[in-house]
C-alpha cells in the first residue's frame, strides 16, 4: 500500500508529465500546420488525412505493446525511448520535402507518442496512493493540454515567421535533449529502485493481454475512452482548422485561436472531473453518460445549423466538446480499479487504444467523405456515426461490469464502487473475476 506521496514523487511525476506535454505538442501540431503541409507536399484532403491516420494508427496499435513494455522494463526507460523517437520524427518532418518522407516522419512521431502516456500513468500508479490516482491523472492531462495550447496560436505565428524548417527542427532537437534529464531524474518506484527486465515468453504476454481484456472493467474503460475523446481529438489534430477556414470562412489565425477553446476547456475541466470522481467514484459513469448525451445534442446543432455558424454558437459548443478529454480519463480510473498493479500498464494501454482507434477511423472517414462530397456537413456525419457506435458498446459493458460488482459484493469482496441493483440489471451467467 502506498502512503502519502513525497515531494520526490511529485517531482518525478512533473518531470514525466513534461514528456507528455512535448508529446501532445508534436501530436497536435498538424492541427494548425495541416493546410501548410498540404501546400508543402502538394496533396488533397484524403491524402492530408493520411498523416493523422498513420500517426494515430501507429499510436493506437502500440498501446497494448506499450503497456506490456512498461510493466516489463519500467516507465523510465520507455519515457527516454519515447523522447528520442519524438525528436527523431519531428526532425525528419522538418527536413522533409516529399509526401512519402513526411508520412514516415509522422509515423515515427506516432511511435514515440505512443510510449508516453501509459508510462506516465504507470509512474502515477507506483508513486501515489489509489485515492490520488484520478486527481494526478487529471493534472497530467492538464499539463498535456499546455502542449496543445503551444500547438495553436504560438505555432501558427512561428510557422508564419521563422517557418517550417526552423520551427520543427528546434522542437525535435529540444525534445531529444530532454531525454538525458529524464534518464537522470525519473525513478520507477518511490524507493528509487529501477524496474528490472523480466524475461516473459510470448505465450505469457498474450495470456496477460487476454486476461486484462476479459475483465469487464477494462472493457468498459476501453469504450468510455473510445466514445468520449475522439471527437475533440479529430478537431484539434487535423480537421478543426480546415473546417473553420474552408467550411466556415474564417481566417487561419482566427480559426487557430478558436481551437484554444478546446485547450482551456480541458485544462479547467480535467482537474475538476478528477477531483470529483476521486471524492465520489459513483459519479464516474453518470458523468460519462451526461457528456455523451450532451455531445449528441451539440453535433446535431452544429450539423443542422443553416449557413455559417456564429462564433457565439461555436465557442460554447467547442467548450462542451472539450470535456471529452477529461471524461475519457474515467476509463483509466476504471482500468486502475479493476486490475492488480502488475497489470495496470497493460490495462491502461488497452483502454488508451479506444479513443485513438476511434480517432483514426473518424479522421480517415472525414477525409474520404470530404474528398468525394466537398461538404464538411456531410463529412462530419462520420463523427455522429462513431459516437453512436461507441455509446452503444459502452452501455453494454457498463451493464456487464455492474453484474461483476454485484457478484463481488455477494462474495464479500472489496469493490471500487458500491452499486445498487436496478430493474435493468441482470447478472452475467459466467462471471469473470474482477481481478486476478
3-state secondary structure 81-138: HHHHHHHHHHHHHHHCCCHHHHHHHHHHHHHHHHCCHHHHHHHHHHHCCHHHHHHHHH
Residue 282 pLDDT: 79
Higher pLDDT, 308 or 435: 308
- The answer to whether the CB of 53 falls within 8 A of the CB of 152 is no
CA distance 65 to 84: 18
Tell whether the model's pLDDT for residue 328 goes beyond 80. Answer: yes
Tell whether the model's pLDDT for residue 246 goes beyond 90. Answer: no
Q: What is the pLDDT of residues 152-181, one digit of tens each?
A: 778 888 888 888 889 999 999 999 999 999
Residue 91 pLDDT: 95
232 closest CA partner among 222, 221, 243: 243
Residue 2 pLDDT: 55
271 closest CA partner among 323, 202, 318, 346: 323
CA dihedral 280, 282, 285, 291 (to 10 degrees): -40
38 closest CA partner among 225, 233, 231, 241: 241
Higher pLDDT, 159 or 80: 80
The mean pLDDT value for 376-394 works out to 95
The rounded percent of the chain whose pLDDT value lies above 70 is: 90
Residue 36 pLDDT: 83
Phi and psi at residue 270, in whole multiples of 5°? -60, -60
CA distance 216 to 35: 42
Residue 208 pLDDT: 78
Instruction: Report the sign of the C-alpha dihedral through residues 342, 346, 350, 352, in that order.
Output: positive
DSSP 383: H
Q: What is the pLDDT of residues 401-431, one digit of tens each?
A: 887 777 766 676 666 666 666 666 655 455 4
Can you read off the three cell numbers belonging to residue 230? 475522439
* Global pTM value: 0.75
Instruction: Report the sign of the C-alpha dihedral through residues 154, 155, 157, 158, in that order.
Output: positive
Residue 209 pLDDT: 81
DSSP 305: -
299 closest CA partner among 285, 312, 313, 284: 313
Residue 66 pLDDT: 82
The mean pLDDT value for 246-265 works out to 85
Residue 350 pLDDT: 86
Residue 159 pLDDT: 85
114 closest CA partner among 367, 348, 331, 330: 348
CA distance 255 to 244: 6
- Find all residues with CB under 8 Å of 184, minimum gap 6, and list them: none
CA distance 233 to 215: 27
Long-range contacts of 165-170 (CB under 8 A, 24+ apart): 165/94, 165/95, 166/94, 167/94, 168/29, 168/90, 168/91, 168/93, 168/94, 169/90, 169/91, 169/94, 169/95
Residue 416 pLDDT: 64
* Architecture, CATH, for domain 7-189+202-405: Up-down Bundle (1.20)
Q: Which of 228-232, 292-296, 429-433 has the lowest mean pLDDT?
A: 429-433
Helix (H) or strand (E) holding 226: helix 216-234
- The answer to whether the CB of 29 falls within 8 A of the CB of 151 is yes
Helix (H) or strand (E) holding 379: helix 376-379
The mean pLDDT value for 343-356 works out to 83
Amino acid at each position: 500500500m502506498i502512503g502519502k506521496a513525497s515531494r520526490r514523487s511529485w517531482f518525478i511525476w512533473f518531470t514525466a508529465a513534461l514528456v507528455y506535454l512535448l508529446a501532445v505538442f508534436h501530436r497536435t501540431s498538424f492541427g494548425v500546420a495541416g493546410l501548410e503541409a498540404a501546400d508543402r507536399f502538394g496533396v488533397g484532403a484524403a491524402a492530408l488525412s493520411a498523416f493523422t491516420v498513420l500517426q494515430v494508427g501507429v499510436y493506437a496499435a502500440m498501446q497494448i505493446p506499450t503497456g506490456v513494455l512498461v510493466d516489463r522494463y519500467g516507465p523510465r526507460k520507455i519515457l527516454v525511448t519515447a523522447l528520442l523517437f519524438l525528436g527523431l520524427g519531428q526532425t525528419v518532418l522538418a527536413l522533409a520535402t516529399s509526401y512519402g518522407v513526411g508520412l514516415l516522419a509522422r509515423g515515427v512521431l506516432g511511435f514515440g507518442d505512443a510510449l508516453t502516456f501509459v508510462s506516465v500513468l504507470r509512474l502515477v500508479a507506483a508513486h501515489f496512493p489509489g485515492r490520488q490516482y484520478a486527481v494526478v491523472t487529471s493534472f497530467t492531462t492538464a499539463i498535456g493540454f499546455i502542449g496543445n495550447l503551444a500547438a495553436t496560436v504560438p505555432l501558427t505565428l512561428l510557422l508564419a515567421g521563422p517557418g517550417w524548417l526552423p520551427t520543427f527542427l528546434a522542437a525535435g532537437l529540444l525534445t531529444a535533449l530532454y531525454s538525458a534529464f529524464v534518464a537522470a531524474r525519473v525513478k520507477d518506484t518511490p524507493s528509487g529502485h529501477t524496474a528490472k527486465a523480466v524475461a516473459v515468453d510470448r505465450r505469457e504476454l498474450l495470456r496477460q493481454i487476454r486476461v486484462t481484456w476479459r475483465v469487464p472493467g477494462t472493457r468498459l474503460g476501453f469504450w468510455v475512452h473510445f466514445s468520449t475523446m475522439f471527437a475533440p481529438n479529430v478537431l484539434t489534430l487535423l480537421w478543426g482548422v480546415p473546417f473553420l477556414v474552408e467550411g466556415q470562412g474564417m481566417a487561419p489565425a482566427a480559426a487557430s485561436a478558436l481551437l484554444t477553446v478546446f485547450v482551456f476547456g480541458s485544462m479547467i475541466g480535467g482537474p475538476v472531473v478528477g477531483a470529483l470522481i476521486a471524492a465520489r467514484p459513483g459519479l464516474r459513469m453518470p458523468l460519462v453518460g451526461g457528456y455523451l448525451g450532451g455531445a449528441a445534442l451539440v453535433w446535431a446543432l452544429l450539423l443542422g445549423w443553416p449557413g455559417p455558424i456564429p462564433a457565439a454558437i461555436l465557442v460554447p459548443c467547442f467548450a462542451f466538446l472539450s470535456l471529452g478529454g477529461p471524461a475519457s480519463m474515467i476509463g483509466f480510473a476504471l482500468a486502475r480499479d479493476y486490475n492488480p498493479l502488475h497489470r495496470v500498464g497493460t490495462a491502461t494501454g488497452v483502454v488508451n487504444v479506444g479513443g485513438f482507434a476511434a480517432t483514426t477511423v473518424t479522421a480517415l472517414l472525414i477525409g474520404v467523405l470530404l474528398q468525394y462530397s466537398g461538404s464538411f456537413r456531410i463529412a462530419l456525419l462520420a463523427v455522429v456515426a462513431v459516437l453512436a457506435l461507441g455509446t452503444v458498446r459502452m452501455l453494454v459493458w457498463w451493464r456487464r461490469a455492474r453484474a461483476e460488482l454485484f457478484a463481488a459484493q455477494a462474495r464479500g469482496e472489496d469493490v471500487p464502487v458500491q452499486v445498487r441493483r436496478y430493474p435493468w440489471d441482470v447478472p452475467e451467467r459466467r462471471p469473470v473475476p474482477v481481478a486476478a
